[in-house]
Amino acid sequence: MDTRTELLTEIATFQNKLKMADSRIGQIALNDPKFVSRLRDGRRCWPETAQKVRDFMAAAYTHITTADGTVIIRDLDTGITASGATLAEAYAELRRLVTARQKQAA
């Protein structure tokens, strides 16, 4: 199975659990709301891009929403935690923090 097909299967499983639209996944994970529909139309996907989507889906399973509506999200690999008013904002902050840590390590 190629990267595109594997990723589409993972996205379908994710959507069955979280009921999230294609455009929402693409918007939050890659800032590209048409990514999933283009993938379904046969467009190829670089492994690095697929990993970003997988990272988002994994992080989406590891978030909580507090009583005041703040979303707290944690990266399981690094242990980094971020928060935001929405899942999209929390994930964007998490990506920023993970990228900053990777740059420090290099």
Whole-model pTM over 0.75: no
Rounded to whole angstroms, how far apart are CA atoms 84 and 77?
A: 20
Distance from C-alpha of 48 to C-alpha of 45, rounded to nearest angstrom: 8
pLDDT digits (tens, 9 = 90+) for 31-86: 999 999 999 999 999 999 999 999 888 888 788 999 999 999 988 778 889 999 99
Interacting residues of 64 by C-beta distance below 8 A, sequence separation 6+: 71, 72
> What single-letter amino acid sits at 105?
A
